[in-house]
């Protein structure tokens, strides 16, 4: 198979097959024009990016098949003027203890970067594969000023909370539903897409995410039972319709 003519780089597309790195090497050896080399380099970069994305997807799929359901190892139970708050949850240490060895075995890792604007704390989880491909998941929430936290503790509490949930969203993780012995649809949490829908509506309506979660009797939006998805949407829509 011969390469295209030096002065006709557009004709290369039908002739290139297999690993573009090979054809790039051949083009350099044959003294192809800079335009041809540029086209081949762009093709090679797209090919590498696609290979890395496929490796990432395969690693995620393999890791998820091995990650067990994460147990909720912490309990919250207190009574305020608004009534009793009672739920179980998994802390970040439990999530990390469960998933870190499995992710590492499949060449996956995660890191975070964050920012703050006023009372709003934003955390982004960057999930990466050793071949270079990565994806980002971002959530924002107000400082956790419950209890007797000082300002730094309030930011730290929210940051930890967001670290845990951005990681869970990025991996599509589930946690055991041991709060109230519920079963069936009530025990099944909303999907990642439904979570994003609710979060977008919370942002649109400028709702207080902590108050909304208390109203839904969950610790965080991803924990809302699938059977209550329509109720959650209706509650937020009613807020948007208020003058």
3-state secondary structure the chain: CCCCCCCCHHHHCCCCCCCHHHHHHHHHHCCCCHHHHHHHHHHHHHHHHHHHHHHHHHHHHHHHHHCCCECCCEEEEEEECCEEEEEEECCHHHHHHHHHHHHHHCCEEEEEEEEEECCEEEEEEEEEECCCCEEEEEEEEECCCCCCCCHHHHHHHHHHHHHHHHHHHHHCCCECCCCCCCCHHHCCECCHHHHHHHHHHHHHHCCCHHHHHHHHCCCCHHHCEHHHHHHHHHHHHHHHHCC
Most confident of 86-95, 118-127, 166-175, 208-217: 118-127
- pLDDT at residue 18 above 60? no
**CA of 113: how far to CAs of 44, 92, 105, 116, 124, in Å?**
31, 16, 24, 11, 5
Q: Which residue has the higher pLDDT, 1 or 105?
A: 105
* Mean predicted confidence (pLDDT) in 62-81: 79
Span 165-184, average pLDDT: 63
Mean pLDDT of 87-103: 88
pLDDT of 180 reads 37
Is the distance from CB of 192 to CB of 174 less than 8 angstroms? no
Q: How confident is the model at residue 181 (pLDDT cuts 50, 70, 90)?
A: very low
Mean pLDDT estimate for the chain: 78
Mean pLDDT of the 19-44 span: 71
Looking at residue 86, its pLDDT comes to: 67
Domain ranges of the chain: 11-64, 67-176, 180-243
Look up the CATH number of domain 67-176: 3.30.160
64 compared with 82, residue with greater pLDDT: 64
Residues 166 and 139 sit within 8 Å (Cβ to Cβ): yes
Whether 207 has a pLDDT exceeding 50, the answer reads yes
pLDDT band at 24 (very low <50, low <70, confident <90, very high): low
Long-range CB contacts (within 8 A, 24+) of 37-46? 38/9, 39/9, 39/10, 39/12, 40/12, 40/16, 43/16, 44/20
Q: Which residues contact 67 (CB under 8 A, 6 or more apart)?
A: 98, 99, 102, 171, 173
Lowest mean pLDDT across 117-126, 181-190, 233-242: 181-190
Query: Under a CB-based contact definition with an 8 Å cutoff, are residues 197 and 234 in contact?
Result: no
Confidence band (pLDDT; 50, 70, 90) for 3?
very low
Return the percentage of the chain with pLDDT > 70, whole number. Answer: 74
**Is residue 94 a contact partner of residue 71, using CB atoms and an 8 Å limit?**
yes
Q: For residue 42, is pLDDT > 80?
A: no
Instruction: Write down the pLDDT at residue 128.
Output: 96
Residue 231 has pLDDT above 50, yes or no: yes
pLDDT grade for 80, boundaries at 50, 70 and 90: low
């Amino acid at each position: 198979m011969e390469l295209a003519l030096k002065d006709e780089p557009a004709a290369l597309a039908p002739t290139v097959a297999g690993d573009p790195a090979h054809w790039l090497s051949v083009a350099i050896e044959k003294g192809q024009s800079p335009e041809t080399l540029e086209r081949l380099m762009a093709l090679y970069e797209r090919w590498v990016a696609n290979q890395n994305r496929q490796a990432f997807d395969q690693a995620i799929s393999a890791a998820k098949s091995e990650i067990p359901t994460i147990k909720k190892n912490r309990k919250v139970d207190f009574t305020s003027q608004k009534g009793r708050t009672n739920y179980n949850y998994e802390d970040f240490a439990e999530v990390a203890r469960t998933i870190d060895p499995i992710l590492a075995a499949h060449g996956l890792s995660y890191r975070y970067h964050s920012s703050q604007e006023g009372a709003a704390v934003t955390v982004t989880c960057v999930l990466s594969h050793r071949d270079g491909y990565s994806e980002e998941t971002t959530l924002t929430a107000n400082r956790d000023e419950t209890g007797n936290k000082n300002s730094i503790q309030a930011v730290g509490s929210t940051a930890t909370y967001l670290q845990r949930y951005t990681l869970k969203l990025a991996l599509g993780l589930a946690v055991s539903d041991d709060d109230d012995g519920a079963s069936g649809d009530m025990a099944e949490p909303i999907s990642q897409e439904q979570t994003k829908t609710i979060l977008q509506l919370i942002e649109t309506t400028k709702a207080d995410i902590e108050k909304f979660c208390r109203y839904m009797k969950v610790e965080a939006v991803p924990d809302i039972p699938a059977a209550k998805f329509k109720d959650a949407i209706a509650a937020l829509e009613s807020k948007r319709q208020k003058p």
